[in-house]
Structure 1
Amino acid sequence: MKNRFFLFLITSILFSYSSSAQNAILKGVVLDENNTPVQGANITFNNSGTQSNKNGVYELSIPANKEIQVVISHIALKSLQFTIKLEENQEYELNPVLKTNVEQISTVVISGRERKIVEGITTLDPETIRTTPSANAGVEGLLKSLPGVSSNNELSTQYSVRGGNYDENLVYVNEIEVYRPFLIRSGQQEGLSFVNTDLVRNVDFSAGGFQVKYGDRLSSVLDITYKRPTRIGATADLSLLGGSISAGGISKNKKLSGIVGIRYRDNSLLVNARNTETNFQPLFADIQTYLSYNVSDKFELGFLGNLAINKYDYQPLREQVNFGTLQTVQALIVSYQGQEEDQYDTYFGALKGTYRPNDNLTLKLIASGYQTQEQEYYDILAAYALGTVNTDIGSEDLGEVEFAEGVGSQLTHARNDLDALIFNLEHKGTYIADTHQFDWGIKYTSEDIKDRLQEYEIVDSAGFSIRPPIFDFVNDQPYTPFASPLVPFVSVRAINDVKIDRISGYAQYSIRTTIKESEIWANIGVRAHNWNIYGSTVASTDSQIVLSPRAQLAIKPNWKADMIFRVSGGLYHQPPFYRELRDSLGIVRPEVQAQQSLHLVVGNDYSFKMWDRPFKLTSEVYYKKLTDVNPYTIENVRIRYRARNNAEAYAQGLDLRLNGEFVPGTESWVSLGYLKTEENIDNRGYISRPTDQRLKIGVLFQDYVPSIPSLKMYLNMVYQTGVPGGSPSYADPYDFQSRLRDYRRADLGISYVVVDPNKRLREGHFLNTFRELNLGFEIYNIFDNQNSITNTFVRDASSQRQFAIPNFLTPRVFNVRLGMKF
């Protein structure tokens, strides 16, 4: 036990990691030629196996990372034999058809992730996602441990990839594009990611160099596939942060299957642990479903639906932030009045029809609608005092402010409303002929946005209202009487009614072949995107169009070493969405053009064995040259664009990830990322972009007690160097290039498996009603590091200096979890 403990410490220091279970799941429904479920079919490999139930459903656990000979047989039908190779903890659905008059013994190797590896796609295990501890648990929480993916706010599900911002990431669920709310400006306001991890079957992620079929964004693609149940079952997960329940099932004739999930989230545990005293009443809840119906053996209809309610009531009371050095400790004390009431209601529905006239051709038609109704109302008066803290240990006033160097107040007001309706109609097709594959698609999008923006900020210091720093204004008091009107320091008022019509399409060709015993995979394609902006509050402009050619090449040489080399590149465009059209004053500028990025990514996958266990080292070098850049600033997690294409930029870096079985039977990884990204605004010279995250180290480590394998440990660690800390309102970003402190965070989870399929209690025990049952607790930020998300800039009236005071994130927090499956 001591040796394991020291191994854990050493591995943690080196930021090592492990992998998830050494088995995989093969499941599905056995059918006959009439599409009738077959009861009593034997599904076997070696000396193990199972039988299909009366509904033809089977589930078989097989060894992972090995070629396994599986035989499916029935006394009245011909046997089916094949070879399958799956990754650790992968679930593969196979619905075989046993025939009566055709011999069907074959040897087909089914490799779960081979195609995705050559395409440069990272596949994440859904079970690892569900067990990884994170203050914002889910897919995004695990993504942040990957190289090239950065986030310095555990209260937010947003992430930046290789120097891009939060708006540059594509998210798909079952090939259907999903959206996020517009007005979110604080991680505290974010309740739930769209992706419900209880429903997830596959997770694919690409950090750059992706194919043309994935759409028009500059940074990344997250491609989610939801489960298709093969049996009736349910799951539940409860914790101090909320809970989730999901259920799925399949009809007797196997034509209709569906899964539904309900989630509730309460961030009070996290927010109330911060150094701001608050009254906080959040309500984050959603219900989501995916239904599929086999109309025939060639046509399938699917429906994805989501209803989300995010209500956020926030009343800050008091806050004290200490900063400075050990010799000179300063503090900002703030007393608040007022409150904030925000609400985001989103409605999403999509229909997807899939038609397969033969084994070579697949045709899809997808229609989706998304509506978001958002309001952001707040009136908060903050009275502050900036001073020196008493550090005398023997004093009764230890920790109190002794001398106030600056006092003042700030009133912030907002009445922001937004109603957006987005409709998509898309056709996709795939044709496969031997080693050749053709993909194409065309998509129409209609966006209708109605927006009222009303914000102001009044700043007062020692009784004087501070005006915005407008250069042509001169205040020569007391020699000249002050006759100008008082105005807010910041004031934004706008009403926008904007409509955008888009037509986009793509065509791509892929081939897999061999050259001198080396395997070759290549892909080439082009995207086109045309859009037109109009509305009652904007001047109509000519439509714009962009073309985006891209290519990928992967080579697996016939070497003793198992290596794959990849290179990909091309043009990537991001036609402006509504947020990118609106400038800092709320004015919509339809002349904004698409941002353009030239990508070049070179990568290598090296699979090897160490300690007789499988490992893989993935490395990628990338360079992105961006033109027509629309500069922006980040206010917590809200992005404010200048709505001008007046900059150019670049991003370059290196990503490394080593994953494998550091502990037998588990998967862990350690990732290292180096990034440098800068921009040149109006040819004034290059400065760091807001996402210039130079160094990032991430670790996912899984372990268990050898003598008690049901007692498991999960560790999720991230270290990131600080990003630029932003600038005050009206300030020139060239004058504010100081950085936030480094972001360091470690989340630990301990769980005990009471029941699982391999651990059943005595017959008749009431706990055997559960297929799985586990208890656990989590410690977020176990080292209690003080991380910051932004700076608050406060002026010292006597010296006229501005202090950048960090806004700290969550401290150490304890959570308890209960998970179960039926």
Structure 2
Amino acid sequence: MKNFLLFIALLITGFLHAQNAVIQGIILNENNQPIPNASIKVAGTTIGTATDDTGFYRLVVPANQKITIVFSSISYKTARQNFELDGRAIFEFNPVLSTVIEQIVEVYISNTKTREFAGIINISPTVIKTIPGAQPGVENLLKSLPGVSSNNELSTQYTVRGGNFDENLVYINEIEVYRPFLIRSGQQEGLSIVNSDLVRSVDFSAGGFQSKYGDKLSSVLDINYRRPTEFGAGVDASFLGVNAFVEGTAFAKAATGILGVRYRNNSLFVNSRETEAITRPVFVDAQTYLTYEVSPKFELSFLGNIAINSYEFEPLTSQTNFGTVDDAQALIINYDGGEDDQYETYFGAVKASYDVNEALNLRFISSVYHTKEQEHFDILGRYRIGRPNTNIGGDDLGEVDFTRGIGSELDHGRNDLDALIVSLEHKGTLELNLDKKENDQLDWGIKFNSEDIRDRLREYTVIDSAGFNVRPPSVPANDQPYFSYVAPLESFESARADNDVQVTRLQAFAQYSSRGYLGDHEVYWNAGVRSHTWNVDGKDIQSTTQTVFSPRGQVAIKPYWKNTNMLFRFSTGLYYQPPLYRELRNQQGTVIPDVKAQKSVHFVLGNDWSFNWTTKDGEKRPFKLTSEAYYKDLTDVNTYTLENVRIRYRANNNAEAFAYGLDVRLAGEFIKGTESWISLGYLRTEENLDDRGFIARPTDQRLKVAFLFQDYVPNIPNLKAYINMVYSSGLPGGSPSYADPYDFQFRLSDYFRSDLGIQYVLVDDKKKARAGSWLENFEELSIGAQIFNIFDRQNQISNLWVRDVASSAQYAVPVRLTPRVFNLRLIARL
């Protein structure tokens, strides 16, 4: 039935936007006087316009393709300029017509200024593919930005300014995408939903975003896949897996298509950890993006993704040494059993765009997301706590020669989830004042979502220490295992539920944007509102309907200062996050249908300073310093516990919270011809549960410093190095997940990681192969090596709490992330 619904939904009218862009400016003569009635045309088309009496022109042109603009006027020589513009880009170009025409090279123009006004960071796809990371891709680069945090190198999940993993919006070509529900560990995740080989542009907002984006509390990641203009293919292979893509056009370039296939095996990382195990972590996916231009005004596209992730894990034994030199401890665990997790996701979206006229564009989108997830495990661990031999010269260094406590733990799970999410959406854009220098734009949209979730939850943990069954921590006067408890045996933790839930949503938004001038100062403002109505229903669930409204606004000014390039902006708004299924389910697995939407008021004050740094040789290099101060006031907070990447909500809206901080980023050409940056972020976020006082939230990471650097050897410019380095202070999370957070406010140790990539370029756009060489067939070819965690830092993801009967104590045994790992890499593109 679900496959049939998938087929039907994909046939529903949907669509890709054949987006337009705008070129505008003033045509001048050699004396800097405006030229009226000058002609501006797109070569080879009927698209054109003319300047007014002031020499001003505005031309709407096709986006995402190479075009040539012809500027001409009587008594002047004709000038030509090649462009390739991003969708919705507004680019100012002021040509000078004279008797001498200067050759102008082809340029790529993106909608950079509009992004800056809106507080959006644009990331180059080239940088995404070159920067090393254990989990490469867009998310790997996001973690180097201020305000974005992640202390798990095997995870693609990230937190932004005190939020959690579920508070981030992700769009691909205006289509919202999702991640699996049940994944609890970074090493189970596999591949990111975003295929870096297909990416054309990446925009990221860490807060204060516009009404056109959805209802989440923290951030927006807006991805656009590219449309190829000719045949191409490429492969990126390493010990971790293979990525390959092929692209091309057909029917006189009316149709375009790109297909990416990825295979990844995390055994290199999993097998390097402290636990000896038999592992088979295999992740495979295929993505395609197809477009077809039915007419110059109407275009269709299809975005599809199939991902099959398999994680089989059979632990054998592990030894973790901890403590101090004077009081060294060791935890030795022998395992039986294993884990078998399967995650299958199928995603398809059809999108259509119709340009009614030069000013009005209508888009229609239909998408289907289907996930089938299985999480089955039975793992018995028999552990003992002892003292390792610390005699550096001894043959048995590190071996445990004295045992002070023994015990065992059985973890059981049979969790299965099947979710189908179908959405229908309409968006529209109306551009106003086409004949003026001011640019006004009206955007609107309406979206319907249907979510059908079937969830079977069966999991428990049984702990035995020295013959005592340890009962749940909620049991009054629970002194086990130190004293026996005369009662029936009971599991330490348990969750059991069968949920059949249907959620329907109706969302709408409208926003108005304007760009103009206040005197000589350029001004931008945006104001809009969203509404979101949702209904939760299902088997043995009382139907509940709620509605929220979310007003948002932005204002920015770029002063006309002769020697200083500055931009100031301010954003504010009321943001809601209506609960998805996981937020409706409490820690026992029961669905609470009347969970409210979490509410947050954002205040963001930002500044961009663009300047040139002059070297000793007199060379000027571009730099940009971006600073943002923010404050978020949260109410109706749905509190949660965080274990690795698994979030378990309490589903009771019993808290209020706040988050404030400062993010600073300096980006530019530290090395000529390369892009690098340094990020600094300070954050404080706390929550107040049931008026018991404010305590640190699970994401309260106070300090973060990140350094992303590209370099090359001066005498060997084709030998390039890429460094990705992150330091952050310790997160809360050192306490047991079941404990009252007011009793435990321990923090993990500080996080520090540095990854190094070295690549030797044989062929690229700057180094072409000589004619007749076998390298002539490649547009890009390079080989290299990567060293992950080059300083072999023993970073910590959590603590394992173990009880010792002999000393009546609990030990916090660190659960560590991956050590230093080596990898080889080959990149080739035709």
TM-score > 0.5, shorter chain as reference? yes
Cα deviation code 1:678-698 (max 9, x no counterpart) = 000011111100000100001
Quick check: 1:634–1:726 contact (8 Å CA) kept in 2? Answer: no
CA distance in 2, matches of 1:537, 1:247: 49
State the one-letter code of the partner of 1:129. Answer: I
> Could you tell me which residue of structure 2 aligns to residue 579 of structure 1?
582
**2-side partners of 1:587 and 1:31: how far apart?**
63
Kindly state the Cα deviation for residue 776 of structure 1 after the two structures are TM-superposed: 0.8
1:258 partnered with 2:266: no
How do 1:67-216 and structure 2 match up within 5 A?
A: 81-82=80-81, 112-216=111-215
Cα offset for 1:558?
1.0
CA contact (8 A) 2:443 2:510 kept: yes
Query: Which residue of structure 1 aligns with residue 11 of structure 2?
Result: none
**Aligned residues of 1:690 and 1:726 also touching (Cα < 8 A):** no
The one-letter code sitting in structure 2 at the alignment partner of 1:441 is: G
1:722 matched to which residue of 2? Answer: 730
**2:467 maps to what in 1?**
463
Alpha-carbon distance in structure 2 between the residues aligned to 1:31 and 1:340: 62
Whether contact under 8 Å (2:211, 2:510) holds in the other structure is yes
Q: Give a deviation string over 1:635-681, Cα, whole Å, max 9, x none.
A: 11000000110000000000000001111111100000000000000
Structure 1 residue ranges, 4+ long, deviating more than 4 angstroms after superposition: 57-60, 69-73, 82-87, 90-94, 107-111, 472-479
Q: Which of the residues 714, 717, 720 maps onto 1:712?
A: 720
2: CA distance, partners of 1:738 / 1:478 = 24
Alpha-carbon distance in structure 2 between the residues aligned to 1:136 and 1:544 = 39
- When residues 477 and 784 of structure 1 are mapped into structure 2, their CA distance, relative to the original with a 3 A threshold, is closer
- Specify the SS of the correspondent of 1:540: strand
Given residue 763 of structure 2, which amino acid in structure 1 is its aligned partner? V
Q: What is the number of equivalent residue pairs in this alignment?
A: 746
SS in 2 for 1:212: coil
Shift of 1:358: 1.3
1:739 pairs with 2:747: yes
Residue number in structure 1 paired with 2:28? none
Correspondence for 2:502: 499
Question: What whole-Å deviation, never above 9, does each CA across 1:507-559 have from its counterpart, x for those lacking one?
Answer: 00011111121110000000000000000132222x10001000000000111
**Equivalent position SS for 1:320:** strand
State which of 553, 558, 561 in structure 1 corresponds to 2:560: 558
Q: Deviations over 1:225-280 (max 9, x none)?
A: 00100001011100000011101111142211010000000000011111110100
Alpha-carbon spacing, 1:730–1:594, altered in 2? closer, same or farther (3 Å): same
**Corresponding residue of 2:601:** 598
The residue aligned with 2:371 is: 372
Q: Determine if contact 2:211/2:509 at 8 Å carries over to the other structure.
A: yes
State the shift of 1:394 in Å: 3.4
TM-score normalised per structure 1: 0.87
For the residue of structure 1 that corresponds to 2:541, the secondary structure is: coil
| Partners of 2:365 and 2:463 in 1: CA distance | 51
Equivalent-residue separation in structure 2 for 1:348 and 1:523 (angstroms): 33
What is the CA–CA distance in structure 1 between the aligned matches of 2:473 and 2:311, rounded to whole Å?
A: 33
Q: Show the counterpart of 2:537.
A: 534
Q: Residue 544 of structure 1 corresponds to which residue in structure 2?
A: 546
Residues of 1 paired with 2:391 and 2:480: CA distance? Answer: 43
Q: 1:473: how far off?
A: 6.9
Selected match of 2:676 from 655, 668, 685: 668
Report what 1:41 is aligned to. none
Asked if residue 760 in structure 1 is aligned to residue 768 in structure 2, the reply is: yes
- For the aligned residues, what is the CA RMSD? 2.6
| Correspondence list, 1:215-614, <5 A | 215-434=214-433, 435-472=439-476, 484-541=487-544, 543-559=545-561, 560-611=563-614, 612-614=620-622
1:655 is matched with which residue?
Answer: 663
**1:231 counterpart letter in structure 2:** E
**Whole-Å separation in 1 of the counterparts to 2:271 and 2:89:** 42
Q: 2: distance between equivalents of 1:722 and 1:155?
A: 18
Q: What residue identity is the alignment partner of 1:821?
A: R
Q: Partner amino acid for 1:453?
A: L
Of structures 1 and 2, the one with the larger relative CO (CA 8 A, separation 6+) is 1
Question: What CA distance in whole angstroms lies between the structure 2 residues aligned with 1:58 and 1:574?
Answer: 37
DSSP 3-state at the match of 1:211: coil
- Mapped to 2, the partners of 1:491 and 1:262 lie a distance apart of 40
Secondary structure at the aligned position of 2:755 is classed as strand
SS of equivalent residue, structure 1 residue 270:
helix
User: How far, CA to CA, are the matches of 1:483 and 1:592 in structure 2?
Assistant: 38
CA shift at 1:397, angstroms? 2.9
Whether the 8 Å CA contact 1:468–1:730 is kept in 2: the answer is no
Residues 649 and 678 in structure 1, CA contact (< 8 A), matched pair in contact too: yes
* C-alpha displacement of 1:387: 1.9
Please name the residue that 1:11 is paired with. none
Please give the alpha-carbon distance, in whole angstroms, between the structure 2 residues aligned to 1:749 and 1:324. 34
Q: Look up the equivalent residue of 2:44 and give its one-letter code.
A: D
The yes-or-no answer on 1:678 pairing with 2:709 is: no
- Give the deviation of 1:112 after TM superposition: 3.7
- AA aligned opposite 2:407: G
**Alpha-carbon distance in 2 for matches of 1:653, 1:477:** 44
Hey, what's the Cα distance between the residues in 1 that align with 2:479 and 2:672?
73
Contact 1:522–1:552 (8 Å) recurs in 2: yes
Q: Distance in 1 between matches of 2:166 and 2:65?
A: 42
Amino acid at match of 2:455: D
For the structure 1 residues 432 and 476, does the alpha-carbon distance in structure 2 shift closer, same or farther, using more than 3 Å as the test? closer
Does the CA contact (< 8 Å) of 1:450 and 1:498 recur in 2?
yes
Within 2, Cα distance between the matches of 1:146 and 1:741?
Answer: 21
User: Is the 1:84–1:111 contact (alpha carbons within 8 Å) kept by the matching residues of 2?
Assistant: no
Shift in Å at residue 487 of structure 1?
1.2
One-letter amino acid matched to 1:485: P
The 1-side partners of 2:315 and 2:640 are apart by 28
TM-score of the superposed pair, with normalisation by structure 2 = 0.87
Residue 823 of structure 2, aligned match among 815, 818, 822: 815
**Aligned counterpart, 2:706:** 698
The whole-number CA distance in structure 1 between the counterparts of 2:391 and 2:253 is 75
Structure 2: gaps spanning 5 or more residues: 1-22, 24-41, 48-63, 92-101, 434-438, 615-619
**2:44 matches 1:32:** yes
Change (3 A) 1:477 1:626: closer
Q: Is the 8 A contact 2:642 2:733 kept in 1?
A: no
% identical aligned pairs: 59
- Structure 1 residues 558, 138: closer, same or farther in 2, change over 3 A? same
Distance change >3 Å, CA 129–CA 570, structure 1 → 2: same
Deviation digits for residues 56-79 of structure 1 (CA, Å, limit 9, x no counterpart): x9979xxxxxxxx97699xxxx97
Partner amino acid for 2:672?
P
Q: Secondary structure at the match of 2:798?
A: strand
**What is the CA–CA distance in structure 1 between the aligned matches of 2:805 and 2:481, rounded to whole Å?**
17
Query: CA distance change for structure 1 residues 92 and 603 in 2, over 3 Å: closer, same or farther?
Result: closer
* Aligned residue runs from structure 1 range 609-628, under 5 A: 609-611=612-614, 612-628=620-636
Provide the rounded CA distance (Å) in 2 between the counterparts of 1:473 and 1:602: 51
What secondary structure, in the 3-state scheme, does the structure 1 residue paired with 2:372 have?
strand
- Specify which of 782, 788, 805 is matched with residue 813 of structure 2: 805
Whether the 8 Å CA contact 2:468–2:480 is kept in 1: the answer is: no
CA spacing shift, 1:716–1:773, aligned 2, 3 Å: same
Distance in 2 of aligned mates of 1:120 and 1:569: 12
